[in-house]
Amino acid sequence: MIRRFLESLEDDEMPFFAPNYWIMKKSGLILPDTGLLKYVYVIIHLTGTLFIVSQYVELYVIRSDINLVISNLMITMMSEVCFLKADSCVFWQKQWRELIDYITEADKFERDNSDQVKRKIFDKYKTYCRKISYSYWAITFTTFIVLISTPLIHFLPFPSQNEVPQNRTEVFSPIFSSWMPFDKYSSPGCWITALWHISLCASGGLSMTAYDCSSIVIMMFFECKLDLFRQRCREMLGSNDKAISDQDAEIVIRQLHEIHIKIIKYMRLFNSLLSPLMFFYIFNCSLMLCACGYQITSTSNAAQRLLVGEYFVFGIAQLFVFCWHSNKVIVKIDSLMYGPFESNWCPASVRQKKYVLFLSGQLRIQHIFTAGPFTNLTLSTFITILKGAYSYYMLLRK
């Protein structure tokens, strides 16, 4: 059944990006052109933004209890990132559509102009993207189930130092910490709050999954294009058995130049969409991981530790996949300029050798995905964030 559903997401018009485009449309990140549904999605995104405001109002109300603030801040920051990702897609809708159109166009070009070697490279990346996307969907769904189970956590038979609850807040624990205009700790307010939080958790989780998976797949698409581009550079002057003329070489070099210009152009466009959100997320992630570590070591309830531990693993995994795939793209860009010199340039004519030099000079233009104007999205940044989170944690423990 699950396999049949996943197969239904495939689209021959965009083989590489089809499942991600589907979930972006279902979550409202890609709005319908017309119709009532477009305004429904906009209202949902605005409701999520207002919910973030209510969370910070609640944090102000409970500001005197540092343990409660740290516990609730951990969830609030993740909620904030989820809805900001959705809002940014709506705000930059035109740019996202342009980027997806380029991916579709480049996808069609690769299918129409690929031999067996290039097709094998393309299929390898496509398979990898499906595994990453579906695994991420599963992790997000698991986190969603854990979060909506929060109100039941104190009724689970786990040992705790506090066998008798000190107040009703510990018994009727809402999913999120947010201000409500009624008593949210007793019936019927607690049930209304639970339903409200579950709907927002589903909306935010779907938006975050669509945004993160699509961003990672786009990174992998650029890595795939760079691999295919390097393969084309190897073949641009023919082989020892079959060389090409100067005129044909000029046509091939011109085409490679245009392909590279488009890759750099749309990598920069994608970075302009991703970079502000990643800067905000990296800042929040340092504080969130610190809060998770503090909760794991300070709470005495095993069920609460299980909840926070799962949340901690999800936060690290989410940040790691961005830094890992961004770092892979950087490695591909650095090695791209070797492609022309892997071609059959030694026995080529002087004119063709000049073309090789011109192209290698073009390939020196590089681009790195960034997290705001201050840092690059690399594995070293990931390690720095973990060190920073540990430093904040030690500060709180003291």
pLDDT band at 119 (very low <50, low <70, confident <90, very high): confident
Domain interval for residue 181? 2-397
- Report the range of poorest mean pLDDT among 219-228, 293-302, 310-319: 293-302
Q: How confident is the model at residue 103, as a pLDDT?
A: 92
Q: Classify 187 in phi/psi space as left (phi over 0), alpha (psi -120 to 50) or beta.
A: beta
- Name the phi and psi angles at 52, rounded to 5: -60, -40
Q: How confident is the model at residue 167, as a pLDDT?
A: 43
Ranges 112-126, 200-214, 305-319, most confident: 200-214
Is residue 189's pLDDT more than 50? yes
Q: How confident is the model at residue 398, as a pLDDT?
A: 62
- Name the phi and psi angles at 371, rounded to 5: -115, 85
Q: How far apart are CA 17 and CA 126, in angstroms?
A: 9
Is residue 98's pLDDT more than 50? yes
Q: How confident is the model at residue 224, as a pLDDT?
A: 92
Q: How far apart are CA 376 and CA 301, in angstroms?
A: 39
Contact 67, 298 (CB under 8 A): yes
The length of the chain in residues reads 398
> Is the whole-model pTM more than 0.75?
yes
Total domains, the chain: 1
Q: How confident is the model at residue 63, as a pLDDT?
A: 81
Angle (CA) 66 47 185, round 5°: 45
Nearest to 120 by CA among 20, 21, 231, 9: 231
CB atoms closer than 10 angstroms to residue 392: 17
Share of the chain above pLDDT 70, in %: 90
- Name the phi and psi angles at 243, rounded to 5: -80, 165
Q: How confident is the model at residue 154, as a pLDDT?
A: 52
